[in-house]
Chains A and B, each alone.
Chain A
Amino acid sequence: MSKASRSDAERPSRLAVRKTYKLFIGGAFPRSESGRSYVVSSTKGDFLANASRASRKDARDAVSAARKAFPGWSGATPYNRGQILYRIAEMLEGRRAQFVAELVEVGGLSAKKAGETVDAAVDRLVWYAGWSDKIGAVRGAANPVAGPYFNLSTPEPTGVVAVVAPEDPLLGLVSVVAPVVVTGNTCVVVASERFPLPSITLAEVLATSDLPGGVVNILTGRTAELAPGLAAHMDVNALDLTGVGDPELARRCEEEAAENLKRVLRPSTPDWTVEPDITRMTAFLETKTVWHPVGI
């Protein structure tokens, strides 16, 4: 067929380029080592995508990555951590349209409601970013003691926190991750089992926000499969059970977590649209008190 005779209608339609939803571990996007995936449907029941179904080994790798990132992240200045959180907010703002579209498609929200949710997520990040260099002043103290000593209490990050994220795929996720990392913890997040796709899109935002690899690791898959393993892991220091709906599973996770005395947060179902307080930050802080002789 000559070039001239070919009309637009005859031209083959362009091949669709679809996104592969993978895990987010150590700053990279690997597939599950198990090779498994599961079907994610919209609230109307339409097929959306296959999401990676992380295995216990992926969870272990994510804990290793979080542990590796901990010294650098907890050692960074609070100012620096705040700047990076603010940067995440900037990147999220830049991708506002993408998130709105995704929330409409995945979560069945109206465009107006989705827009409000993305705005709230950006504002939430900015709110926590501001706390980075202030939480020390609020939770720390120069204690009066009967002797020639300075006695200073300062809040310190707990370490690696395993977070089971709530079903709200963007605002809920941001609301549980930001308070954990802003104080210097690193985390392994089990994303919402039902709405995993926006979590992985959020990982793309995190990966381009100067956040060091491994500070936030996001796994998608079955909560019941991943949460107990993380709760039992001896190298995890704290556990946030916000997203565990099943009380029996939550109880089992708490029992497993007792083995190495993890800090466990098991809140009642929160309303993410309400302005938060500092309890989510203080839940994963420990207080270090130092005595220092005066005049030396």
Chain B
Amino acid sequence: MTTSLVDVASSDVTLRGFLHGLPGVDRVGADQRAAALATRSIKTTAKAQAIDLAISMVDLTTLEGSDTVGKVRAMCAKAIHPDPTDTSVPRVAAVCVYPDMVAHAVRALAGTGVKVASVATAFPSGRSSLAVKVADTTMAVEAGADEIDMVIDRGAFLSGDYTKVYDEIVAIKAACATAHLKVILETGELATYDNVRRASWLAMIAGADFIKTSTGKVAPAATLPVTLIMLEAVRDFRLRTGRMVGVKPAGGIRTTKDAVKNLVLVKETAGDDWLSPEWFRLGASSLLNDLLMQRQKLTTGRYAGPDYFTLD
């Protein structure tokens, strides 16, 4: 691997050559490594720290056809004060909404430090023309989104048209201007771990600021081995180029235990540098309530009940 990454995307042949030249993923090994790290026991003060860190990493998400302005406003209020009865609970990292809801979220979150992320590019399938995808992105950026979550064209990726995927990411990156770009690989549709590694590198070479596992609309979503492979990819990418790229597992992370497992994975794979909301996010909605319930258990000693937290 002596080719400089600048030249990698210069032609279809070099791009394919580079991606297929990446070492293959040992499927059994990756599953075992993720499972072994998931058994680590995190208790008491370490658990309290992990919970607060996880809360500060949450991208609080609502991506439903039934989203209303009221629901987005309520979610923004929760993002600022996840537990209104306890001011020591940190803010979440961002809220994640559809492009037409960005303006409402921006208004609700002004001056709070909570970022507004918007999905774009014909989310979740990505089946539209590049012009539509760019227009979708521009609309969200102009409405004030700090971060754009785009989906890759999985159809093109699976049929081997890597250049099309690359060009789309570059075009959306340009449309993002100053907004951060998160690239959703939708690993549940990529079939193999080798493809996850290739898609991760492809997105990073094309300029992604973050690589994200899933839309949350396809099962399986963010499994631990997939997150492990993506963390290895960002670690190796930094060693190669010096540029840091963030990782965001999304979908299927529902319990505090899941969140803590992800944090262990980050620490052991990518390293401490990634243990901040700037470089690692958890895309979730129901996770936050479980984190708050566990936090309350640690502070009061009694198990919390869902009756005492907001329904969302």
Contact = CB atoms under 8 A, between A and B. Distances in A.
B307 interface: yes
A256 B302 contact: yes
A256 B302 CA distance: 9
A234 interface: yes
B305 A260 contact: yes
A233 B302 contact: yes
A235 B302 contact: no
A259 interface: yes
A60 B306 CA distance: 13
Contacts of B305: 233-236, 260
A67 B304 CA distance: 13
Interface in A197-230: 229
A235 B304 CA distance: 7
Contacts of B304: 234-235
Contacts of A235: 303-307
Interface residues of B, number: 8
B301 interface: yes
Interface in A163-200: none
A63 B303 CA distance: 10
Nearest to B301: A232
Nearest to B308: A234
A260 B306 CA distance: 13
Which one of B302, B303, B306, B307 has the greatest number of beta carbons of chain A within 10 Å? B303
Which one of A60, A233, A236, A256 has the greatest number of beta carbons of chain B within 10 Å? A233
Interface string B278-305: 0000000000000000000000011111
Interface string A228-253: 01001111100000000000000000
A235 B290 CA distance: 13
B253 to A, nearest CB: 18
B288 to A, nearest CB: 17
Q: A-B pairs with the 7 shortest C-beta distances?
A: A235-B305, A234-B305, A232-B302, A233-B303, A234-B304, A60-B303, A234-B302
Interface of B: 301-308
Interface of A: 60, 63, 67, 229, 232-236, 256, 259-260
25 contacts: A60-B303, A63-B303, A67-B306, A229-B303, A232-B301, A232-B302, A232-B303, A233-B302, A233-B303, A233-B305, A234-B302, A234-B303, A234-B304, A234-B305, A234-B307, A234-B308, A235-B303, A235-B304, A235-B305, A235-B306, A235-B307, A236-B305, A256-B302, A259-B302, A260-B305
